[in-house]
């Protein structure tokens, strides 16, 4: 038998010579081996910085046109897309339809592996139909190996429907796929510590990329003030406390005054800041924000400088 008989050309399926004796390593050595591999991930993502910046601009354009960001993936990749989508509403106050995640095998695949779902090309096509993808949307396929049939079929269908398309992968993608997508983010992290286990380095790289995509796009849409999440949704005691502290810091007022301002603003931290800083009512504060495209800084000036905790 020749080497070619069992050697897979995909980077994510190759064996890692640095961890070939991990099965006889001590617990501490296992930690060190995995950590050493993880340490290479950030550099791989950094190598795609210009491509990721272009991707952010595409996402912003889609949002401004009234479109959505639609993630599609299988297995770990699909779960990471759904996770990123789910975290946008509480973080940035977005409607749940603005960033959505689609996973092979349906939402049951979030908590239990659905074998064979990633190979179902018909399901990938149908997923785009069910999501009612339009030309205003941007569809982001997530595939660690770059070859997942479900994802490739979904991207093909999205292109037919006129949507912009993007691929997030951790291996050099097939040429045809790369040529048909508007953007390809390929954070090539090399062979995994456990051969083919893309929930490791590839999963970490993917999480970093998706975090950057949505965070970058939301910043460009004016959903932060300085580095403060002023569009957060106060759905829990922790988030209500955070919102009050943001208003206190930005406006130099006490807890009760901040709470009253947020209540008068209908729960909007952003609106409360403008009301308190400009001394205006909610309707005037909203008008000023609308005039500034939703950005707080042009309305009230710079946020306070970061101060060390007492």
Catalytic residue positions?
87, 118
Task: Identify which of 110, 28, 22 has the alpha carbon closest to the alpha carbon of residue 71.
Answer: 110
| 8 Å CB contact between 79 and 113 | no
Cα 185 to Cα 206: distance, rounded to the nearest angstrom: 10
Measure Cα distances from 268 to 204, 234, 240, 296 in Å: 33, 9, 11, 12
3 state SS of 165 = strand
Neighbours of 48 (CB within 10 A): 22
Cα 64 to Cα 47: distance, rounded to the nearest angstrom: 28
| 8 Å CB contact between 95 and 89 | yes
Cα 310 to Cα 300: distance, rounded to the nearest angstrom: 26
């Amino acid at each position: 038998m020749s080497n070619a008989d069992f050697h897979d050309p995909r980077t994510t399926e190759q064996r890692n010579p640095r961890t070939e004796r991990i099965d006889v390593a001590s617990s501490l050595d296992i930690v060190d081996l995995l950590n050493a591999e993880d340490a290479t991930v950030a550099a791989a993502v950094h190598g795609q910085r210009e491509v990721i910046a272009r991707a952010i601009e595409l996402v912003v354009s889609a949002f401004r046109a009234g479109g959505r960001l639609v993630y599609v993936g299988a297995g770990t990749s699909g779960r990471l897309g759904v996770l990123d989508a789910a975290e946008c509403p509480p973080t940035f106050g977005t409607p749940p339809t603005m960033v959505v995640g689609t996973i092979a095998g349906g939402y049951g695949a979030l908590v239990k592996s659905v074998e064979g779902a990633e190979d179902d090309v018909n399901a990938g096509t149908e997923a785009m139909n069910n999501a009612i993808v339009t030309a205003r949307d941007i569809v982001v396929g997530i595939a660690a190996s770059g070859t997942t049939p479900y994802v490739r079929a979904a991207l093909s269908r999205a292109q037919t429907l006129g949507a912009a398309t993007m691929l997030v992968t951790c291996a050099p993608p097939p040429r045809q796929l790369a040529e048909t997508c508007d953007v390809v983010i390929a954070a090539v992290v090399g062979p995994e510590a456990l051969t083919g286990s893309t929930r490791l380095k590839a999963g970490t790289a993917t999480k970093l990329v998706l975090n950057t995509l949505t965070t970058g796009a939301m910043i460009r849409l004016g959903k932060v003030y300085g580095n403060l999440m002023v569009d957060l949704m106060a759905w829990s005691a922790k988030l209500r406390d955070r919102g009050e502290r943001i208003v206190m810091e930005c406006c130099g007022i006490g807890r009760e005054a901040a709470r009253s301002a947020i209540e008068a603003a209908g729960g909007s931290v952003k609106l409360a800041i403008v009301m308190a800083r400009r001394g205006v009512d909610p309707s005037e504060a909203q008008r000023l924000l609308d005039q500034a495209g939703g950005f707080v800084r042009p309305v009230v000036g710079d946020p306070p400088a970061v101060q060390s905790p007492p």
